Amino acid sequence: MRNLLMSAVLVGASLLGSTAFAQEAIEGRNYVALSSPVPTAQPEKIEVVELFWYGCPHCYQLEATINPWSEKLPEDVNFVRVPAMFGGIWNLHGQLFYTLENLKAGEKVHNSIFNALHNQGRKLASLDDITQFVVTQGLDKDAFLKTWNSFSVKSQMEKAKKLAMAYQISGVPAIVVNGKYRFDIGMAGGLQETVDVADVLIEKERQPK
């Protein structure tokens, strides 16, 4: 049912066009202000965090919009992906993400995971299945398993769990701008509108306080 409702929202938003937030976004409707701002990784920059799960169809749909957008962000903006971990396979995929980050595997494997899950029918629901998959992507099996069990990956996972709690998220994809403002595709009104709202909030953070 949630997927059906979200699909209806996306279709309706596409009919409205992508210029709704060219000038403004409305607090309480298009985004919420967090009651307690969350410290950012690079305080000298405006941070945009995307919380996601590889198995989420809407996260996969957002990739085609957010990837080119994030690649063109100016130097004063820091875009960060954070895997949401609500237990079970969510945690497994979060551990996969941070293992790849530590191995500097790059966007190619990140995109291949989304493709495997949503277009190839792969589940990637166990370490064995994941290991077999990443080897097909050119990663060394021993290096992957060593990194998978590393202190660095475990620490990053714990930090991500704490961030998700601080952001008060209940689903994905969710976007948080500068540790202050949170919204999702439904609040924004569509895929393109998601980055439009992010742009408005980035500009809001640029204004003199």
Which DSSP state fits 47?
A: E
**Are the C-beta atoms of residues 119 and 57 closer than 8 Å to each other?**
no
pTM, full prediction = 0.88
pLDDT digits (tens, 9 = 90+) for 165-180: 999 999 999 999 999 9
Confidence of residue 13 (pLDDT cuts 50, 70, 90): very low
pLDDT digits (tens, 9 = 90+) for 84-114: 999 999 999 999 999 999 999 977 899 999 9
Beta pairing, strands 32-33 & 46-52: unpaired
Q: Which domains does the chain have, with CATH numbers?
A: 1-83+169-209 (3.40.30.10), 85-166 (3.40.30.10)
